[in-house]
A and B are shown apart, each in its own frame.
Chain A
């Protein structure tokens, strides 16, 4: 079951939300969340939910061990938990490594069918790891209530695109939280907005990317529009799933941190790269980056970037992109940031845009030959010139593409934000704005329903 499935939006979610409102206590809501998560993870898949329960309980025990005053016990508990979660991550999230002919091909018995793999194992394993590491490093107190740990680990809201919530950020909310009508309203609005981003905007950009980046007849316009399509589809899919996660959390009384930060040029390449999955980047940087001296800082930043790349996809192009960003983030920490701070802002903006563009484009090419072909097509060095299919896709989706393009750029989001604030200064303006927003949300829901329906038929 996915967040964008009709059965989830119109059956599972309303039933779970209504049941969770029967009682106001946090304990009741936690119980409902655990049961709902168990159903969600095991939907259509065998009962591997027992694996999740057992690893959650193991994280609870290792967390208590990591907080003990006996230093060897602390180290052993932390190391055991890291090994356990890494094993779960590699076996389930990177199960293709155990296929015949791959790195771990000798352990072919660990190669499962996709049906056996629980959803969102990557975020799940790293959530357990982050809890025990925080306890070991004394950033967080150990949790003595296993029920709270189980709720934190099993929370299905955080399974698809995060955020990677730390236990301390949820500790108080697990024990006491209230759900008002305004929270449910904010939650459902945000969830529907996320649906629109993931189910309407992302596929439009994906269609543009698939037509534009067709290497059998790659045109110059196709190279430019295709890469825009690649960025857009990745951006809006991730943004959509994040909004859905945060919306689900609000409906349950949780306030999760924002995982996708708006594009801002003033943070340079570091701001762009770390804003994409900010909670995951923060986890790796807190646990690997050293601030002792500059050379060590550069190396640990590079290591942290490579780990992020490995976490996403263990393929060469992702690792290349991660290394690219890691090098420039390290250089910014060393001297580049200070250099551009003392120069006109335009210089820094050009540097940020060009390098982010170049680094992110590495994500979309499986081989260097393709990357080279694309680079040449960008400057017009291509023998193909038929853009009819490309312009046909643009013509059929121009409204969605325009909304996606405008919505991603900070210039327009700031403009709309200021316009909204100005309208909200008066009662009539605020009323009009809210009614327009409600109408737009209802329209998004209807469009999503039709789109998802047609995909099934």
Chain B
């Protein structure tokens, strides 16, 4: 039985080895144990041949029939026994020290200097203008009328007009980057403008040390110090002449203005907040008060003594409650129609006249 068993095992082992050539040197016992089958010793304890056949069948995938067929094979190969190979010992290689590498600078032979050879061209024959031969053109027959072509529908096909989602995404990304670029330009320009004007107002101010308010908790809590700062800021603003000239230019931009001939400054009430506190200021009052200071050079006039002289005049036009009075303006000759204007002026007569006192004249001025 043991011989049979050994035979069967050897047949199974041959099969296994044929399938797994790497395992040719392994012992049968090792193979068996790896396959999960019983060990060599325990298989000797098995009593029934069938059990052994089943085990071997599991091992080799061979059925009982296969095993019996294998038994009939006359040839028996001896399982070679291999000696254990000595363990390989890795020896660290010892290298001899190489001589240092010396870079040799190459020595080149001096090349002869390049001589530019001036190319010699053959003389080309002179250009001869050939008069073209007049060729007689054949008579052209009248072409038949072209057939009317069918109208081409210029509307793009639906498929080509539809953008794909990726196209839309690309377009939006391109637009976002463009927008970001111009946002940056806009912000830079406005920031530079604000900072420049702010710094100009601070560093180029015309300092005046009138009624300086000291910083203290009392002045701060009462609002006195902040009022002082505001007054100082507003009164010390620089470049007055430049701003006046700029105002003339801007007023021309806003509309036709006569500032070239008449120089006046109109003080209008400052812009107030449009909230419940001052919304009634937006309503028109019954008697809007405005004051104008007009300075103008008047034409020459005759005085009481007969001598002529210019009388520079300045008058303050302030609207009062009195009704309008009509009359002629002694200076311009225009008929006066005024609403509620009353002008008070002082006329200073030229020297040399009998009466050198100032006279106060009250008249209405449009």
Interface residues of A (CB under 8 A from B): 1-7, 9-11, 14, 42-47, 93, 115, 117, 119-123, 159-161, 181-182, 184-186, 188-189, 192, 198-199, 202-204, 206-207, 209-210, 213-217, 226, 230, 233-234, 237-238, 241, 311-313, 315, 317-318, 363-366, 370, 386, 388-389, 394-401, 427, 430-431, 434-435, 437-438, 441-442, 445-447, 449-451, 453-457
In the bound complex, CA of A226 to CA of B285 (Å): 13
Do the beta carbons of A455 and B284 come within 8 Å of each other?
Answer: no
Are A123 and B221 within 8 A (Cβ)?
Answer: no
Q: Chain A contacts of B202 at CB under 8 A?
A: 11
Distance of A173 from chain B, by nearest CB (Å): 21
Q: A396-B255, A427-B178, A442-B190 are in contact. List 9 more A-B contacts (CB 8 A).
A: A2-B272, A184-B187, A185-B184, A206-B268, A210-B284, A400-B254, A441-B190, A447-B250, A456-B234
Return the 3 tightest CB-CB contacts between A and B, nearest first.
A10-B198, A122-B276, A434-B182
B107 in the interface, Cβ–Cβ < 8 Å? no
Min distance, Cβ A236 to any Cβ of chain B, angstroms: 10
Given contacts A46-B222, A210-B290, A238-B274, contact A189 B244 (CB under 8 A): no
Assess A10 versus B201: contact at CB under 8 Å? Given A2-B272, A123-B275: yes
> Contacts A202-B271, A210-B288 known; A1 to B230 CB distance under 8 Å?
yes
**Are the CB atoms of B240 and A10 closer together than 8 Å?**
no
Looking at the complex, which one of B191, B235, B277, B288 makes contact with A188 (CB distance below 8 Å)? B191
Q: How far is the CA of A370 from the CA of B285 in the complex (A)?
A: 10
B274 touches A43 (CB 8 A): no
B: residues with CB less than 8 A from A are 174-175, 178-180, 182-187, 189-191, 193-195, 197-198, 201-202, 220-223, 226-227, 229-230, 233-235, 237, 240, 243-244, 246-247, 250-251, 253-257, 265, 267-268, 270-277, 279-280, 282-286, 288, 290, 323-324, 337, 339-340, 366
A434 contacts B186, C-beta separation under 8 Å? yes
A246 to B222, CA, bound (A): 31
Q: Provided the pairs A233-B282, A457-B240 are in contact, do residues A47 and B273 lie with their beta carbons within 8 angstroms?
A: no
Residues of A within 8 A of B187 (CB): 181, 184-185, 188
Q: Is the CB of B189 within 8 A of A442?
A: yes
Q: Are B271 and A198 touching (Cβ within 8 A)?
A: yes
A216/B274 contact (C-beta < 8 A), A188-B187, A399-B253, A435-B182 known? no
B residues less than 8 Å from A204 (CB atoms): 254
Chain B residues closer than 8 Å to A182, beta-carbon distance: 179-180, 183
**Prevailing SS type, chain A contact patch:** helix
Q: Min CB distance, B268 to chain A, in Å?
A: 6
Please determine whether A43 and B230 come into contact, CB atoms closer than 8 angstroms: yes
Find chain B residues with CB under 8 A from A4 CB.
270-271
Task: Offer 10 A-B interface pairs, CB within 8 angstroms, sorted by A.
Answer: A2-B270, A6-B201, A47-B223, A120-B273, A161-B275, A312-B279, A313-B280, A442-B193, A455-B267, A456-B234
Measured in the bound complex, the distance between the Cα atoms of B323 and A172 in whole Å is 62
* B254 contacts A215, C-beta separation under 8 Å: no
In contact, A119 and B276 (Cβ under 8 angstroms): no
Contacts of B279 in A (CB 8 A): 312-313, 318
Residue on B nearest A226 in the bound complex, by CB: B284
Q: Give chain B's interface secondary structure class.
A: helix
B268 and A207 contacting across the interface, CB-CB below 8 Å: yes
| A363 engages B276 (CB within 8 Å) | no
In angstroms, Cα B119 to Cα A384, docked, is 101
Q: With A181-B184, A185-B183 known to touch, is A160 a contact of B257 (CB < 8 Å)?
A: no
Instruction: Establish whether residues B324 and A217, one from each chain, have CB atoms under 8 Å apart when the complex forms.
Output: yes
Query: Complex formed: what's the CA distance from A453 to B250 in Å?
Result: 13
Please judge, given known A-B contacts A10-B198, A437-B186, whether A216 and B275 are in contact too, CB under 8 Å: no
Q: How far is the CB of A8 from chain B (nearest CB, A)?
A: 10
Contact of A6 among B183, B237, B257 (CB under 8 A): B237
List the A side residues contacting B286 at CB < 8 Å: 215, 366, 370
CA distance A120 to B339 in the complex (A): 37
Give A121 Cβ to nearest chain B Cβ, in Å: 7
Quick one: which of B180, B227, B285, B323 contacts A44, CB cutoff 8 A? B227
Q: In the bound complex, what is the Cα–Cα distance between A388 and B286 (angstroms)? A: 20
A132 CA to B282 CA, complexed, in Å: 32
Nearest CB of chain B from residue A207's CB, rounded to whole Å = 7
CA distance A449 to B196 in the complex (A): 12
Residue on B nearest A402 in the bound complex, by CB: B255
Q: CA–CA, A396 to B266, complex, Å?
A: 13
Chain B contacts for A366, CB-based, 8 A: 283, 285-286
- Please give me the residue from chain B that is nearest to A397 by CB atom: B255
Q: Which residues of B contact A198 (CB under 8 A)?
A: 271
Q: Which of A42, A46, A388, A450 contacts B247 (CB 8 A)?
A: A450
A241 and B190 form a contact (CB under 8 A): no
Q: Check if A10 sits within 8 Å of B275, measured CB to CB.
A: no
* CB within 8 Å for A11 and B186 given contacts A160-B275, A430-B178: no
Asked if A396 contacts B190 (CB within 8 A), the reply is: no
* Residues in B whose Cβ lies below 8 Å from that of A445: 190, 193-194
Indicate which residue in A184, A203, A397 contacts B268 across the interface (CB closer than 8 Å). Answer: A203
In angstroms, Cα B195 to Cα A213, docked, is 41
How many Å lie between the Cα of A43 and that of B228 in the bound state? Answer: 10
Set A7, A45, A398: member contacting B234, Cβ < 8 A: A7
Write the nearest CB–CB distance from B232 to chain A, whole angstroms: 10
Judging by beta carbons under 8 Å apart, are B233 and A450 in contact? no
Residues of B within 8 A of A184 (CB): 187
- Bound together, the chains give a CA A11 to CA B232 distance in angstroms of 13
**Contacts A10-B198, A442-B193: A44 and B226 contacting too (C-beta < 8 A)?**
yes
> Is B254 in contact with A2, judged by CB distance below 8 angstroms?
no
